[in-house]
Each structure stands twice: as C-alpha cells, then as structure tokens.
Structure 1
Amino acid sequence: MDIFYSIQDWVISAGASPWALLATFALCIVDGFFPPFPSESIVIALAALTVSSQGPNLIILWAVAAVGAFIGDQVAYSIGKWIPVKKIPFLNRGRGARAYARAGALLLSHGPVFIMAARFIPIGRIAVNMGAGSIGYRRSTFSVVDALSSMMWAAYSVAIGIGAAHILEGHPLLAMLAGIVGGIIIGVIVSHLITFLQKRFFPERYAAAEKAAEEWSKNHLDGGADSPGTTHL
C-alpha cells in the first residue's frame, strides 16, 4: 500500500498536468483486476482540485476514468475466463473467496444489475467481473452493461470530488479526504441496498442464489469443478 500512496501523492501533485491524466488512466485499468489500487481516491482527489483550478478538465477526467475502468473490467473478465480461480491468491481464501462464490451465483440469476452495482464496490467488482468470465457470461452483454456502469462510476467519482471541494472550500485536503470517505460509504450503501432489494422483492431467487453460492464455494474452492456452467444471458 505504501507504493499506492506514493503514486497517489504524485498524481495529486501533478494536478492539471497531462501526466496526472495518464497516471489516472493507468490506475483505473489496474484497479479493475488488482484490488490494492482503488482508483476512486485518485479520481475524487483530482476532481476536488479542479474547484481551485489546480486539476484537469472535468470532462476529460471523466472520460479517462470511464475508459480506464472499462478496460480494467474487461481484463478482469478475461482473467476469469482463462485462469482458474485457485491460481488467483486474493480470490481463493477469506473475504475474496466468499465474494467470488456469491458473485458467480448471483450473476446466474440477475447479472446486469449485479454487474452495474459491483462497479461501485472495489473488491466486489473484481470478484463479479472475474466471475462473469469464469462462468461463461456472454461477453457482449457484459460489455454493454460494463460500459454504462463505468460511465456512471466515473461521473459519480467526479461529482463527489466537486461536491466535497465546494462544501469544504478553502480546505482542499479535507475535501479530498471527505470525497474518498464518501465514495467508500456510497459503495457500502449500494452493496447493502442491492442485498435488501433482493431479499425484499426476490426472496426465492435470493435464497436460491445464497444456496448456490454455498454449493459453488464448496465445489469451486475445495477441489471441485472450475465452473458451474455457462449462462446465456
């Protein structure tokens, strides 16, 4: 994480420089398949800097973040498609394993909503996107949903940065911190909201998905088959 903080400090200090945008683009791609690099904080921080005319153009920042996020998600999908989950350390044990198992099961029942919501949850999006690749989720559908969610995620990150900077005008560091914390909170809220809606309006499907997640977790992570099958969504 020390490396990430060093990169983050450098990007923020670059401000309106084209190098800051290039670094943001690269980090958004890496964040799609490597969890220690949460790109939200970079996008939020740069957006906050624009309020004091020290950051990049907002439209360009949004476009760079959205395209980078889309490419990163596509890489994650490809990794899930071609590399067995047991060879991916952060997805074969603990929280990552549970997230991956649940993601695969829920993708089979209501994929588009789940893919879109997961984009706002750092570890969740990696598990979902790799899960989509591993279960054979149709790439054309995944790409359309992912494009929409990447644009929404980038807009939300930029908006949080601007809002935090206006509310805390004159205190740029506090604005950046508030924006980052806000992003984390919203991600958690989205996660819990999706779970609540699933339980409230689709109880049978949610229960089935939970059961499937448990069975898949046992089979997939304890020596069973590498995939529950192919979905044609």
Structure 2
Amino acid sequence: MSALALDWSNTSSAGYPTLFAGVLIGSIVPIVPTGALVGAAAAVAMTTSHLSLPLVLLLSVLGAAIGDVVTYLIARAGSEAAIRRLVRGQRPDRLINARERFAKHGWQLVVIGRLVPAGRIPVLVAAGAVAYPWRRLLAATAIACVLWALAYAVLGIVSGGIFDSPLVATLIATVLVLVVTGAVQLVAKRRERRKS
C-alpha cells in the first residue's frame, strides 16, 4: 500500500498523470509512442524513487484499456461508415469473413492487435463494425493491455537495471522499444509480402 501513499503535491508525481494521459491519448489517436512512454516510465521507476513500478504498470494498463474501449465505441457508433470504409474496394464476402473471424477468434484478434505495432486500431475498428460483443471485448482488452504494458515495462526494467542514470536508462528504454517495434513491423511486412 505504500506505493499508493504518495505525496501528490510533489512535482515528481506529475509523471503519473502524464503517463496515464499519454497512454490514453495515444491509444485513441496514435500520435504518442505509448510503448516508449511505458518503457521510459519503467526505467525511471527502476532508477529513482520518483515513480513506483506497480503504479506505472497499473496506470499504463488503465490508460490503454480505456483508450481501446473508446476507439471500439467510436467505431461501433459509426458502424455504417466503418463498414463502408472496411469493405470499400473489397469483395462483398469480406465483411462476412470478418464477422466469422471475430465469432471464432475475436479475443485472440484483440490481443494480437494490441501487441502488433499498427494492428490495434484496424482490429478495434473491425470489431466495432461487425458489432463484436462489448463484454467479450472488455475481457480481451484487459488481457491485451496487461500483456502489452508488461512487455514494454520489461524493456524499461532491463535498461533501468543496467544503468544507474535515469536519463540514460530512459533513453536506452526508448531506443529498445523503437527497435523492437521496428523489428516486429519488418517481420509483419515480410510475411505479408510472402502471402501475396
């Protein structure tokens, strides 16, 4: 419980709202590198007493989960427009296939979409467009966000465990996140090329 009993009047505690807001906004509009933000916060938590690692993880999961649900709800509310966008230029059976895929493997798609760079928004838009049940989405999103936050926090923990300087650990964590993200994107692109 000592992690929750922080002095919120201390300016170093501004890191928590910044982390939460950054992950939340980045989960709705992908303009913030949320993985790098989580890794950097974990690195700071490992090298200073300014942030608590359990709170970094908790706020990262909450921000990501809320952002994902908001993205899903936006797609669900505008489902006709989302459907038209998804099937524009595609065969009519594409929507039927998407519904079938979500019926059989919906939670897996949500989890993988969260973990694969640039996969989350298309999966959430598709889930909203095919009216994937929100209760199933909430459970899948919770699992996905926990795994996602842990994966990126580990990069920050590793860099924070190696370097004593918070600045160096944060920079290394950010670079590690960007390298891992780039490598995953490269592998995904090569697989797509092989399929086509």
- The TM-score range, normalised by the shorter chain, is 0.7 to 0.9
- 2:178 is matched with 181
**Which residue is 1:22 aligned to?**
17
> 2:38·2:153 contact (CA, 8 Å) conserved in 1?
yes
Alignment of 1:1-233 (within 5 A): 17-53=12-48, 55-83=50-78, 84-85=81-82, 105=98, 106-170=101-165, 171-172=168-169, 174-185=171-182, 187-188=184-185
Report if the CA contact (8 A) 1:73-1:129 is conserved.
Answer: yes
* TM-score scaled by length of structure 2: 0.73
Q: Give the length in aligned residue pairs.
A: 174
Per the TM alignment, residue 40 of structure 1 is displaced from its structure 2 partner at its CA by 1.0
Residues 19 and 41 in structure 2, CA contact (< 8 A), matched pair in contact too: no
Residue 110 of structure 1: how far off its partner (Å): 1.9
Q: Name structure 2 gaps, 5 residues minimum.
A: 1-10
Asked whether the 8 Å contact 2:155–2:176 carries over to 1, the reply is yes
Return the letter of the residue paired with 2:152: S
* TM-score of the superposed pair, with normalisation by structure 1: 0.62
Aligned partner of residue 37 in structure 1, secondary structure: coil
Moved over 6 A (4+): none
Aligned equivalents of 1:190 and 1:169: distance in 2? 33
Gaps in structure 1 of 5+ consecutive residues? 1-15, 200-206, 211-233
1:117/1:190 contact within 8 Å kept: no
Aligned equivalents of 1:54 and 1:126: distance in 2?
Answer: 35
RMSD across aligned C-alpha pairs, in angstroms?
A: 3.6
